[in-house]
Amino acid sequence: MADRSTLTAWAVARFVVVYLVGSSLLLVLGVDTLWMAVLLAGAVGGITVWWSLRGAVRALDAAASGRPSRRLPGDLDRIARGIEDRIGELERRSQEAEQSLALLEEVLARFPHGVVVVDRDEQVIYMNPVAVTLAGGESAHLSGLTPHRLQTLIRQVVSEGAPRTEDVEQVSPQAVLSVSAIPAGRHVVAVVTDVTEQRRVEQMRRDFVADASHELKTPLASITASLEALRIALNRRPDRVEEFVSRVEAGVGQLARIVEDLLDLSRLESSHLEMTRVDLARLVGEEAARFASKAEAAGIELVVELNPAEVDGSPRDLALAIRNLCDNAIRYTDSGGKVVLRVYSDADRAVVEVADNGIGIPRRALSRVFERFYRVDSARSRATGGTGLGLAIVKHVVQRHGGTVTVESELGAGSTFRVSLPRNQTPSGN
Ligand code: ADP
């Protein structure tokens, strides 16, 4: 309002000045009719005022449309500049808002979790690409999202106005999704994460703890029973004391082996792989020498065929894997049998083979022997000091070295375990 009155005052002042100057001029020039003077001066003043107002309106127009305006006198110029500044500010803000929106969309598009925004009328306002994949495709309505439990969870959050988090199962493709839905004004924002692998690993860990506890309980029960028998034997059957002491020793030995294997597994899972250049032929030769007396005692011929082969790796871990394979070959081969340790290499890979002509592995069990605590014949395994963890350790070591381990076996004819390692590689990190 103040701006408009300034404009009017300025125009009227201009009119009055032009009117007075005009009429004076006409009088000086000798136009003696007063009316003529008044009319002429009025016309000139009117045109001047119209011209001025037109100029001012154009200048304000130019300012409003963001074009640089021509200079105007006094207050008008200030008003025009003010409008220009305000418009410039608004344009800047609108650009900033657009940039923020584009950034937000880009971040959500790359966000590794699904984000779904649903309003109270169950219209889907937004789904990022991960949400489209996890929730069964793009949908404009809540009822189009899968699994069905996701819909009911969002409806619950709408009606209760309180956040909820839950695991829901997707049938096709099979997956476990963790959904966290939170109310946000008239909307509900749901964050959907594929936790299939995470839940599988958690389940595996739970199973492992249960299996390990069970494995530890077996020798513990045997030790407890043997100690009880030993106490009785000390008083009544001194001739059997030796026997029960041996049983206690066997139980303790079994317990120690399980704990040792568990610690090895834990170390392999958590520690960093320290790489050095390893002479595989020498390493296998040394391990074979350690088993010479055990093989001889079992009546098994131990043959070593060593060709030059070097790899980058951890000598300690590789020795552990070779020891487990060699130990198995001897334990699962009957007296009179043969175990061959072979090392060779080609351009890319170094190979260690441990072959025996022992009891062999049934076909159905071949894919499972590398699982923790899996045994084909539990009685023979335990009787020969097995823990059920030997091949799991081998697999872990080989994978950490970027290699593969395979087995070929025929029941009653023997088995060949083949470890293939890259000759040059970078560590896997865990
Ligand atoms: P274990 O301590 O019981 O030997 P491993 O993990 O070393 O556990 O092996 C898993 C199972 O695979 C064994 O219980 C055994 O049934 C089978 N197995 C492993 N090596 C051989 C082999 N050389 N010959 C026959 N069976 C084997």
Looking at CATH, the fold of the domain delimited by 111-194 is given as Beta-Lactamase (3.30.450)
Place of tokens 């799991």: 392
Phi-psi map region of 180: left, alpha, beta (phi>0 left; psi -120 to 50 alpha): beta
Whole-angstrom distance between the N-terminal and C-terminal Cα of the chain? Answer: 75
DSSP state of 369: T
Ligand 1 nearest atom to the CA of residue 391, by list position: 6
For residue range 371-397, what is the model confidence (pLDDT) as tens digits? Answer: 999 999 988 998 898 999 999 999 999
Taking the centre of ligand 1 as the mean of its atom positions, its distance from the CA of residue 402, in whole angstroms, is 23
For ligand 1, mutation pick of 302, 375, 389, 393 (most atoms within 8 Å of CB): 375
CA 328 – ligand 1 centroid, Å = 6
Report which of residues 241 and 37 the model is more confident about.
Answer: 241
Whether the per-residue pLDDT at 4 is higher than 60: the answer is no
Q: What is the pTM of this model?
A: 0.70
CA of 340 to the centre of ligand 1 (A): 17
Domain ranges of the chain: 2-102, 111-194, 199-270, 273-430
Domain range 273-430, CATH architecture: 2-Layer Sandwich (3.30)
CATH number of 199-270: 1.10.287.130
Going by pLDDT thresholds of 50, 70 and 90, the confidence category of residue 2 is very low
Residue 383 CA to ligand 1 centre (angstroms)? 12
Mean pLDDT of 1-15: 60
User: What pLDDT is attached to residue 19?
Assistant: 65
Q: Are 124 and 188 in contact (CB under 8 A)?
A: no
Residue 1 is predicted with a pLDDT of 44
What pLDDT, on the 0 to 100 scale, is given for residue 26? 61
pLDDT of residue 192: 97
* Residue nearest to ligand 1 atom 2, measured at CA: 386
What integer pLDDT is reported at residue 3 of this predicted model?
53
**Stated length of the chain:** 430
Residues 321 and 336: their CA atoms lie apart, in Å, by 25
Can you give the pLDDT at residue 79? 78
For 111, the enclosing helix (H) or strand (E) is none
